[in-house]
Chains A and B, each alone.
Chain A
Amino acid sequence: MRAIDGVSLRVDRGEIYGLLGANGSGKSTLIRVFSTLLTADAGEVRVFGLDVRADELAVKRLINRVSVEASFFKKLSAMENLVYAGRLYGVGPEASRPRIHAILRRLGIDSGRVHEPLEKLSRGMQQKIAIARAFLSAPMLLLLDEPTTGLDIRSKREVQTFVRDLRDEHDATILLTTHDLDEASRLADRIGILHGGRLVAEGASEELTARHGAASLEDVFMALTGRHIDEADERGEAET
C-alpha cells in the first residue's frame, strides 16, 4: 500500500499552506518526508531548491517540525529540553534562554513553570513547549503536523496567532496539516485536500468552495472524499 501517491505540491515562500485530510490520509507521512525522517521510494522533494536527500544537512538547518505528539525527555524541565534543542541548532544557552522566555510568554505559558519536569505539565502545555521548540531555531520552513490537537480553544487561538505572527515577522514558510477545517480556513493561504494518499484538490478556501458550489469547506471535503473529515481514511487510522 502506498501511503502517499503522486502528490505534487509547491508551497511558496512566506505562504501558509494547509493540508487537510482525515486520519490515515497520508498527511503525517508527507510531513515526515519533508522532515528528512522518511525517504520516499520515488519522486523528488526540494526545500528552497535543496534536495532533501542530497543536501540533507543543509535542509535540516532550514526546517523544524511540530508533531501531533509532544516528544520530549519528560523528566527534564521545559527549559532543559529547550536549551538542549537550541544547542542542536547551534544556539547556546546565553542566546536561547531569553528567546525561550519570550516565546513561552507569547504562547501563554507561565514562566514559573519552565523549570518543572515536563511530565508534570498538562498535555496542552507540553504541546505548546513542542511548538516553542520548533520556533526556537527560527526555521525558514516550519512543518506543523496537527499542532493544535489536544489544545483547548484558548490555547488553540494563542498558537494560531503565534503561527501567523511568525510568518509575518520572520518571513517563515509554513506547511500545516490539520483536520480542523476552521483552523485551515483561519490560517492557510492555500489549502490542499489529501485523500487516500492523493492530493484531490488545492486552492484558497474561497476558491475551493466556489469551485465546488459548496457552502463551506466541510461540504467541499465531503463532496471530494465522500466522508466526514473526522472519519478515518479507509486505509486505517495509523499513518505510516
Chain B
Amino acid sequence: MIASVGGQLGLAYAFVEREIALSKRYWAWELVWLVYGIVTSLSVAYIGLAAPAIAGASVDEAAISRFVLYLLVGTITWRFLGLIFEQMGETIAWERWEGTIEYTFMAPVPRLTHLLGMCGATLVRALAFSVAILAAVALFVPVDLSNANVASALVLLATGAVAFIGLAIGSAVFPLLWTEKGLQMAYIVQAVVLLVSGVYYPTSVLPEWMQLLSVISPATYVIRGMRAALLDGADVGGVWPDLWPALLVGAVSIPLGLRLFVWAERYAKRTGRLKRSG
C-alpha cells in the first residue's frame, strides 16, 4: 500500500518536475507574468491610495489604509486562484499543440495521479507568484497587517486552492476537446468568476442575478474570508461562515471535475480528437 502510494507520488512528481523545467526554459515569460502581476496589483493599490482625490472628499488615513488592504487582499488572492485556474487549462492546451498529450495519455499513469501532479505543479507556481507579488507590492505601498490572523488566512487560501482545483480540472475539458476555442471558453468562465466573486468590491453591489452567480463561486467565500482574517483578524471560527461553503464547493467540484475530465478523455478517444493540432 505504502509502496503503491510512493509509486503514484513518484509518477505525479514527473509533472511537477516537468513544469519546473519548463519554467526555467521560459524564464523570460515567467518574469513578464511576474512583473505584470506586480504592476496590476500595485495599480489597484494606488487606486485605493487615491480614493480621496478621486472621490473629492477627505477620508481619514486609517480608512484609506483599510481600503488599500481590502483591494490588495482581493487582487492577490484572485491572482493566486486565477493562476491555478489558468495553468491547468493552458497546460492541456499546450500539450495538445505540441502533440505531447498523446504520450501523456498513453503512459501508464492513472488519470487521478496525472491530474494531481499537474495540480501540485500549479500550486507551487501560484504560491511562488503570490508571495513574490505581495513582497514586491509591500515595498511600494504601506501594508498594515498588524491586525491580521495569518493562520486563518492560510487555511482559507488552502481551501480556496482545493475548490479551484476542481473548477480548473473541469474547465480543462474545454481545451482537451477543442484546442483553441476550448481555451477561449475557459478564459470566459474565469472572467465571469472574476466579475461575480467580489474581488474588488462587495458582491452586494452586483445586480441580483449576478449575486446568484456569486453564491456558486468559491472565490466569493475565499476572498471574503481572507478579508475578514487579514483586515479584522478573524480566527478560523470567525471565518467559518465563509470556510464551509468553500469546502463544500471543493468537495463537490473535485470529484465532479475528475469525472468530467475522464468522460472528456473517453469522448476524445472515441472521436479521434487527441491527434496533434499544432
Contact = CB atoms under 8 A, between A and B. Distances in A.
A55 to B, nearest CB: 11
A69 B102 contact: no
B269 A39 contact: yes
Given A37-B274, A71-B276, A88-B11, A65 B106 contact: yes
Nearest to B18: A84
Interface string A195-228: 0000000000000000000000000000000000
Interface in B235-278: 266, 269-270, 272, 274-276
Point out which of A36, A76, A84 has the most chain B C-beta atoms below 10 A from its C-beta: A84
Contacts of A179: none
Contacts of A76: 18, 21-22, 25
A80 interface: yes
Contacts of B276: 69, 71
Interface in A62-87: 63-65, 67, 69, 71-76, 80, 83-85, 87
A37 B18 contact: no
Interface in B1-32: 7, 10-11, 13-14, 17-18, 21-22, 25-26
A201 to B, nearest CB: 26
A92 interface: yes
Interface string B44-81: 00000000000000000000000000000000000000
Interface string A36-52: 11110100000000000
B17 A88 contact: no
Interface residues of A, number: 34
A7 interface: no
B104 to A, nearest CB: 7
A60 interface: yes
A89 B17 contact: no
A72 B21 contact: no
Contact of B102 (A67, A74, A84, A90): A67
A117 interface: yes
A35 B25 contact: no
Contacts of A73: 18, 22, 98, 100
B107 A60 contact: yes
Interface string B85-114: 000000000000011101111111110000
Contacts of B7: 90
B270 A39 contact: yes
Interface string B174-197: 000000000000000000000000
4 closest A-B pairs (Cβ-Cβ)? A71-B99, A87-B14, A88-B107, A60-B108
Interface of B: 7, 10-11, 13-14, 17-18, 21-22, 25-26, 98-100, 102-110, 266, 269-270, 272, 274-276
Given A76-B22, A87-B11, 11 more contacts: A37-B274, A39-B266, A41-B270, A60-B108, A69-B276, A71-B98, A76-B25, A85-B103, A87-B14, A88-B103, A89-B108
